[in-house]
Structure 1
Amino acid sequence: MATEDTTSVTEPASTATPKRRWRGLLTNRDFMIVWGGFTVSSVGTALSNLAVPILALGLSGSPTMAGLVGAARLAPYLLLNLLAGVFIDRWDRRRVMIVADLGRFAALATIPVAYAFDSLTIAHLAAVAFLEGVGHVFSAVSHLSALSKLVPEEQLASANALNEVADSAAGVGGSALSGAFIGLARNSTLGAVYSYAVDAVTYLLSGASLLFVRKSFQEDRPVDEQRSVMADLKEGMSFLWRQRLLRLLMVMVTLINFLQAPLNLATIVLATEDLDINAGLIGLILAVVGLGTVGSAFAASWLRERISLRTLALGSVALWAVAAAMMAAAPSIIFLAAGVLITNLLWPIFAVSLVTYRLSATPDQLQGRVNSAFRTLSFGVEPLGLAIGGALIASQGPRFLFWGAAVGQLVIFLGSVATWRRKLTPETAAATSPQDA
């Protein structure tokens, strides 16, 4: 059982230069295979990010229903994350990822089949969205928990940054591809169905790639140890709660995710209804905007070595509030795209710093439970945020939602500044640059 964090959690010093760390990472065969599969599946996820609201709007004509479908896709974060963490710490993490990918392939493949037979319904779409979310919960927590076994600790920040690069680049390619499908098809609904078909194939490829990984995704575990699910849950949650900096970061991310969950839907509705922009063009614009996030992801590990976690986290929240206000007041697609760009640029930097710290501070045998407990709250609120956001967009309009997000994030920033002091916890020393000490 973890004890109260009364001592500093420091990261081991590395004599390797950044160039050597990157070279060692890129020559790590097993990590690169996992990274390649992650990149391919991320392209598929990006396809669905645009296709889900477009297809839901096409089938129902209602932003409220589109919000509920999006909520169904995110609901497993709230319903299953904690249990997933327990079993991921017990099961073979690679096998979990393979099953999750193949399950998502099977579920998503039913969308184009149902559409071809003119039997696709909003309920079917919501069910598939939920199953995709289930697969993502188990796959994402397994992947995150296995990372510290695939690379040395001094390469964790670079590995996280490379994952963010893949995610950002996949977002660009996936949004562009989905936008092309939607723009070139005879209607946006059919284009979204094409996106689902390609997304299904990406999960099949991702799952197959994991068969070639040689390294174990976890430490050896005692085979005779019998523990209850509740005991395992308590151990993981107790560790997370006693780490005061992790606790504060969890609260921050939870509130931010709640506010930002419906922003993608609000962006689409504002662009198509208020600014009269074609849905296919929106995908292409988002792809161009997403190019900036690739550079941001590359810079994330460099920034983490030079700027304190406190500065990166609080600065991101402040700028997110500014970006939401820009989108709320946007008179044209240029201002709307600029707000999206600012929002997306900050996420890789914020995520690399936060996740690297969390992985470094957590023992391997607790990785699944700590990561899943953190994500249960931080991602589990997204279905609620998306459902409420969809209703607000339908009743008050997208600009009202953007203003609400701006004000909410300003409140988060002010509250975090008041709470996050250097004396909060000794762990901050591990993430503080010399000039900030």
Structure 2
Amino acid sequence: MVIRRWSRTERTGLPAAFHRIWAASAVSSLGDGIYYSALPLLALTLTRDSTVFGMMEAVTLLPWLVFGLIGGALVDRWDRRRTMVSADLCRCALLVAATVAVAEGLLNIPVLIAVGFLLGAGGVLFDTASMAYLPELLDRDPQSLQRANSRLQGAQRALDGFVGPPTGSLLFSLSRTVPFAADAVSFLFSSLTIRTLPARPKKAAKPETSILADARVGAAYLLHHRLLLGLSLRPAVGNFAFCGTGAVLALFAHDTLHLGTAGYGAFLTTEAVGGLGGTFVGGWLGARLGTGGALTLTAVVEAVALLGVGVSSNAYLAGAGFAVLGAAMTVTTTLGPSVRQAIVPDELMGRVGAAARLIAMSAGPIGALSGGWLAHFAGLRAPFLAGAGILVLMACLAARLTSNSRIDAALAESARLRGATDPGTDLASFSASR
């Protein structure tokens, strides 16, 4: 089956195949929200060492460091739809095994860390394949990509952050096994839904090259493209700060904000509420400030919001800060990837996407370990205060490397190379009116 190419008159909407991607993403996000709110609650029954929590946060991101580039090279060789299906089936089987281990009382800290690492490994292949498949489906049209990413982000925020956490906390209070079983079911649904998507055309045979050589090509393309490098460094600095606070968030909520199990789940939803709002304002900010201006603004907003959470002793004020933080993060993760998907050649999409994610995610494990260590020696507020300072530096970085002029030039060049007859239309979603 050949993926249909959509004419410009049809781009006012999104194809039916995208709605299947959206449904799969929505259900999987709900399962993830349930899992990730239940996981620290389970860990709290085993340990109260903040360093261990930092390790648990780090191992979910570590697979990107270990074989992120290799995963991108494999995605560019394999059928992207089948890769997504296989990754989700494997994650489903892993969570079924984890559910049995919880029921039998066999799940300890080392096993939790191993499960987190393997789930992250499946996420490397799935996320890289899905980000490469979407531009294919939407004919690399920037407006459609921005709209699609916004809707995917909206579903993720609403279900992963808003519905999932309180559901996970509630299910955990009823039974420790149910949250993990629910996430396994979500992966099964996702794999079955994605299996119905259109298959991509078969690639022409290429000269045999090694996986490592293919990976190096994708990394070199990104590192020599200043805009793509900036779009990757932008979230990398943010991930360092956010993972540093995320590593101790359960302890911070319990010991500083004095929240119980149900309160912790509700606290997590505040970020999702803000993130859901961010899906609606992202396009508006991009149209008025340009993508570059919007990315700089969100970096400043994130710094102020994280500082507010860190100095607060009131759960309601901290929740408000988390809501603002969620909105700014969602705008960033909607606008930035849409630009990359519009300008990277299809044959490099998996590798460049993986290299971008590797840069963005590589700071996460370091941030998580640093946050746990800093909280251990300087108190639970320290990771939030340090993270706010780091985010101020990120604002300066975004202003230089991801400016409006750089983005305009890259989109225009990409449109020219594809033979676009009206590149100005493609730029409308990302550029401010001059």
Matched with 1:169 is 158
- Which residue of 97, 119, 131 maps to 2:84? 97
State whether structure 2 residue 169 is matched by structure 1 residue 179: yes
State whether structure 2 residue 175 is matched by structure 1 residue 199: no
Deviation at 1:280, TM superposition (A): 1.9
Amino acid across the alignment from 2:165: S
**After the TM superposition, which parts of structure 1 deviate over 4 Å for at least 4 consecutive aligned residues?**
418-425, 428-432
Aligned-pair identity (%): 27
Matched with 2:199 is 216
Deviation at 1:349, TM superposition (A): 1.1
- 1:160 and 1:275 map into 2 onto residues whose CA distance is 34
Matched with 2:383 is 401
Amino acid across the alignment from 1:98: V
* Distance verdict in 2 for CA 1:310–1:340, change over 3 Å: same
Matched with 2:69 is 82
- 1:301 and 1:146 map into 2 onto residues whose CA distance is 22
Per-residue deviation, residues 126-173 of structure 1 (Å, max 9, x unmatched): 111111001111101100100012223141111111111111111211
Unaligned ranges ≥5, structure 2: 1-6, 413-426
Q: TM-score, normalised by structure 1?
A: 0.88
Matched with 2:417 is none
- 1:42 and 1:403 map into 2 onto residues whose CA distance is 29
Per-residue deviation, residues 372-392 of structure 1 (Å, max 9, x unmatched): 000011012212211221222
Q: Indicate conservation of the 8 Å contact 1:78/1:381, yes or no.
A: no
Amino acid across the alignment from 1:176: P
Deviation at 1:118, TM superposition (A): 1.8
Matched with 1:249 is 231
Deviation at 1:52, TM superposition (A): 2.3
* Distance verdict in 2 for CA 1:226–1:210, change over 3 Å: same
- 1:345 and 1:423 map into 2 onto residues whose CA distance is 25
- 1:62 and 1:434 map into 2 onto residues whose CA distance is 48
Q: Indicate conservation of the 8 Å contact 1:57/1:63, yes or no.
A: no
Q: Determine helix, strand or coil for the equivalent of 1:308.
A: helix
Deviation at 1:106, TM superposition (A): 1.0
Deviation at 1:420, TM superposition (A): 5.7
- 1:389 and 1:62 map into 2 onto residues whose CA distance is 12
Q: Determine helix, strand or coil for the equivalent of 1:398.
A: coil
Matched with 1:10 is none
Q: CA RMSD in A?
A: 2.2
Per-residue deviation, residues 92-127 of structure 1 (Å, max 9, x unmatched): 111111111011111112222112212221111111
Matched with 1:6 is none
- 1:170 and 1:396 map into 2 onto residues whose CA distance is 34
- Which residue of 220, 236, 251 maps to 2:218? 236
Deviation at 1:367, TM superposition (A): 0.4
Q: Indicate conservation of the 8 Å contact 1:317/1:410, yes or no.
A: yes
- 1:82 and 1:259 map into 2 onto residues whose CA distance is 23
Deviation at 1:289, TM superposition (A): 4.6
Q: TM-score, normalised by structure 2?
A: 0.88
Q: Indicate conservation of the 8 Å contact 2:290/2:404, yes or no.
A: no
Amino acid across the alignment from 2:249: T
Per-residue deviation, residues 336-384 of structure 1 (Å, max 9, x unmatched): 1111111111122111110110000101111000000000110122122
Deviation at 1:265, TM superposition (A): 3.5
Amino acid across the alignment from 1:433: S
Deviation at 1:54, TM superposition (A): 2.2
Q: Determine helix, strand or coil for the equivalent of 1:158.
A: helix
- 1:276 and 1:423 map into 2 onto residues whose CA distance is 47
Q: Indicate conservation of the 8 Å contact 2:287/2:432, yes or no.
A: no
> Counterparts of 1:23-422 in structure 2 under 5 Å?
24-25=13-14, 28-152=15-139, 153=141, 154-171=143-160, 172-182=162-172, 184-185=173-174, 190-191=175-176, 193-213=177-197, 215-217=198-200, 219-417=201-399
Amino acid across the alignment from 2:20: I
- 1:423 and 1:434 map into 2 onto residues whose CA distance is 10
Q: Indicate conservation of the 8 Å contact 2:256/2:313, yes or no.
A: no
- 1:333 and 1:237 map into 2 onto residues whose CA distance is 43
Matched with 1:9 is none
Amino acid across the alignment from 2:150: A
